[in-house]
Amino acid sequence: MKFNALLYKEIRECLPYVIGAAILLIAFGFTTVQMGVDPDTINNRYMAFSNANQWGWNLFRGYFIQPAGVSVLIFTIALGIALAIHQYSVEFFVRTWGFLLHRSVNRGTILASKLLAGLLSFVPLLIIWGLFFLYAHNKRYFPIPPTERIFMEGLIFVAFGFVSYLAVAMAALNKAKWYTTKTLSVAFGIWMFITLAVQWQLFWAWITIAVATAILLVQIIDTFLNREFE
């Protein structure tokens, strides 16, 4: 019950950011998908799709729905950064960590509620991406439907939003100075983004996501359970 109350609190506080990101994603993403209705756009995108297969693929080249996927990536990263700052950095500025940690629950429960709320916050954006993908199968407007690979790329983009969340959360929890090792997790996240962007095999893209998530989670858990909070 205590965990449920903490989770509800975290979700309630994250909700405005999720709603904002969802509205922006719908606006920008739907606009880019609609651009594919034009026959010339469809032909151009199809040629890009063919060239990508001929010259090598990465997660930012291919079918016309890809620009909507890039919108998903941008807004999931933005959401991850905003959530991490709100859930971790703001607690330091308003000095509420002491009050939160002195409740009759252990630190692991508090951290779990924050992490789960952060993870669940990306579900609406994942649903929106699924709706974009389904809409692109309307043969009345899109004679060449997107492949399952395109859908999986969108899932990877959403997953990287969570990696961004973890990277910024780790930076917020790190007690070092900003000009020393505090931003190492952010640099690691950027490195993972570059590694992800040049991948053309989905398997290795998911491996990149899994490794980055595992490394950051281990660091966050260790730091949160052992550091002193004011």
Reported as a single tens digit per residue, the pLDDT across 65-113 is: 667 778 888 999 999 999 999 998 877 776 666 666 666 778 888 899 9
Per-residue pLDDT tens over the stretch 146-198: 778 888 888 999 999 999 999 999 998 888 777 678 888 999 999 998 888 88
- Give the global pTM: 0.84
Considering only CA atoms, which of 60, 72, 76, 79 is closest in space to residue 32?
Answer: 72
**Locate tokens 């990877």: which residue?**
156
Q: Which two tokens stand for residue 207?
A: 């491996």
Per-residue pLDDT tens over the stretch 42-61: 444 444 444 444 433 445 44
Considering only CA atoms, which of 157, 158, 145, 154 is closest in space to residue 49?
Answer: 145
> Which pLDDT belongs to residue 51?
47
